Structure formats: structure tokens, C-alpha cells
Structure 1
């Protein structure tokens, strides 16, 4: 016995490590507990619907966390009654079904639970404040656009950060103007930077928001976001002539298929 009256722990005691202080027959009870809780979880998840099993909204993610927390302990703790855990799990799923019903019937509840889509790009120009609201950086946006075959922002008519966390983009088509280059990734090959006051001939794009400017003299600060850095605008950063066809017109990547704005305003 230790000084505090509790049993002294013997290091590397295999019986303690593998069985603890319960009889070996309790292993069969764990098999029964785990099987019962697993089947109960499968039944409850089936009730939540197919969407809950495929693509999780914030509400459904909270439900999954709650289910996992409530289902784990009764599987192997002998002092946790199974009926108590099953009732807890049933209540969690019941609340989920109630909230799902309210989300469908009440737009205010839907907005509070699932949020609203955020417009990140309009006519080739990013909205830095929208990026901040969506908790995305410029690099995050560029990564998602590259996955859809976008080479420069001028190709994008609209880009929305959806409620489920996906990005939906609508392209301008073959007549897209020049814009801020998205490829190569800036971490690997940053574009040339032109500071305010530099003299440059040709169209430039703001490195912060993508606003286009054809300077008549020294470069000013960006009129849209006050950024002091520009880069030459481009129609095809990779220079292979493939910047406006193929896969860009086919997809919205994570957000779904092509939409009605596919030829968007130029």
C-alpha cells in the first residue's frame, strides 16, 4: 500500500495493463456493450438522413461529436448503464431532427445555424472584407481556384464561399480579360511586385484585391483597397495558350457543376 492508502502501482504489471481490476469475464460484457451501442448508433445515424452521413454541416458536426462522446463510455465502463447512454443518444438525435425541421421551415434559424454564402470575387476582383468574414486568406482562395483550372482572376465572373464550406465559381469564358495571376502558387514563384510610385507601361493588377489599372504615369495606391503593391496583369500566366478553355468551363470544383452565370458579365 502507498502512503495515501491506495494500492501501490507495479510498473509493467501485465495483468493490470490488459485487464485492470475487473474479472476476465467482463471482456464478454464489453463485446455485448460495444455491439449494442454500435447497432444503436447505426440506427440513429440512419434516422438523421443521408446528408448527415455524406457532407456535414456545422449542426451535423456537433451531433456527431455529441454521439461519439455519449457512445464511447458505456462501451467499456461497467458503472455506466446502457439504458442511460441509449436515452442520451436518442435525445441528441431527436434534437438534431427538431433543429433540421426548424432550419427547413424558418430562414432565420437556417441563417443562424448554417450561416450565409459569401461572395468572394466579382468580375475578377476579390473582396478582402469578404475573405475575412469567410476566414479565408488570399492563398486559400487561390488554391481553391487553381483546383478548378483558373489561372488568373480575370477569368472569374463570380466566386461564392458556400454554407457547406465549398467554393462555387462561375467563369467568364474565352473573352476573359487579363487579371491577377493565380498560378504558379505564389509560395513557389511570386509574381513581380511594382510599388507605388513606380512607372510602368501596360495593365497592372493589385496584389491584394486584383483591381486592374492602366497607369498613365507613376503607379498610385489601389483605389479599391489602398494596397501599395501591383503586378503586371496577365491573360495566361503559364504562357501555353490553354488558359481559357478546357476544364475551367466545366466545373465549379468543390461547389458543384456549371451554373447560369457561366458566361457572366465581362
Structure 2
């Protein structure tokens, strides 16, 4: 087999594995990482590097792996856009956290969101009391969006990122 085709096949296999692993372990968003997340990503990248390039540690081997990852990522995103089944399989659904001032404790518990984290998100959106929340959603990108029912309260577009890792949430 061509050594560069072997790198492409290995890279695609690692990509698919990582998509599945992130779905299983619940990582929704990687834009804000804590120390443990950074360490995990560094260790994972180091552990899968050899799985992708094998014994080929040349510049061309690394570039081949990177190009394969970019292409499979582009293809995967297009598949998710066109296939509701794949999108539903990979992405979580938005969850209601608060509706008309009523807190959905089961959703908070399921997602591992503490009341302190919810209150922090409310403050970031200019909302002080739960009763003023018309709708608080845990979005598919890991953010909490909040709409207040009070016309006098300032609405913001800022979204607080929450990350699920192994069943816990980190800031």
C-alpha cells in the first residue's frame, strides 16, 4: 500500500474515533479550556500522532495527515448539514433550563450545571432573579442563552460557555 494513502486512512480513522469519543464523553465546545482540558488534548494529540503517521515522521507525512484531517472535517460537516440522522447522532439538542421563571432542575442535574453557574450566566446577561427569566437555554455549542421577560432589563448577546467533560462541567 502507498505509505501516504496509509496515512490518510489512519488519519480518517483517528478523526472518526475522536468524533465518537467526544460525543460519548459529552464535550460540546473546546473554545474555553481549563488546565485539565489542555492536558487532555495535548496527551490525546500525542497518543494519536503515531496512529496517524505510523513510522513516517517526515514533513510530507505530517502534512498528508493534516490535509486528510481538514478534508474529512469538511466532508463530515457537509454530511451533518445534509443528514438529520447523523446530525442528531453527533450533536446534542438544546435544553430548557428556565422557562417563565420556573427552573428545570432535572435538566440542570442531567447537564451537571450548578445553580451558581446558572446564576453567573444570568448576571452576564443582566438578569438578577430567576423570576425575570423568560427562557434560559443550554445551547448545542455549550453556551447558556438567556431571554428575560422584563423589558427594562438589558439584553445582551454574550453567551457563557460551559463544557462537559466526563460528566462534569468546567469553566
Same fold (TM over 0.5): yes
CA distance in 1, matches of 2:155, 2:125: 8
CA distance in 2, matches of 1:252, 1:92: 32
Q: Secondary structure at the match of 1:121?
A: strand
Residue number in structure 1 paired with 2:103: 126
Match of residue 250, structure 1, among 152, 155, 158: 155
Shift of 1:133: 2.6
CA distance in 2, matches of 1:140, 1:118: 15
Q: Secondary structure at the match of 1:249?
A: coil
Is the counterpart of residue 106 in structure 1 residue 11 in structure 2? no
CA RMSD between the two structures: 3.4
TM-score for the superposition, normalised by structure 1: 0.39
Q: Contact (CA 8 Å) 2:102, 2:130: kept in 1 or not?
A: yes
CA distance in 2, matches of 1:108, 1:58: 21
Bigger fraction of residues in helix: 2
Shift of 1:121: 0.3
Bigger fraction of residues in strand: 2
CA distance in 1, matches of 2:119, 2:99: 14
Is the counterpart of residue 145 in structure 1 residue 122 in structure 2? yes
Residue number in structure 1 paired with 2:60: 83
CA distance in 2, matches of 1:124, 1:94: 45
Shift of 1:112: 2.4
Q: Contact (CA 8 Å) 1:159, 1:168: kept in 2 or not?
A: yes
CA distance in 1, matches of 2:150, 2:100: 12
Structure 1 gap segments, 5+ residues each: 1-56, 74-78, 175-244, 256-266
TM-score for the superposition, normalised by structure 2: 0.59
Is the counterpart of residue 160 in structure 1 residue 131 in structure 2? no
CA distance in 2, matches of 1:107, 1:126: 30
RCO higher in 1 or 2 (8 Å CA, sep ≥ 6)?
Answer: 2
Larger Rg: 1
Shift of 1:168: 1.2
Q: Contact (CA 8 Å) 1:59, 1:114: kept in 2 or not?
A: no
Structure 2 gap segments, 5+ residues each: 1-27, 34-40, 51-55, 161-171
Task: Tell me: CA distance 1:250–1:119, structure 2 relative to 1, closer, same or farther (3 Å).
Answer: same
Q: Contact (CA 8 Å) 1:155, 1:172: kept in 2 or not?
A: yes
Is the counterpart of residue 171 in structure 1 residue 148 in structure 2? yes
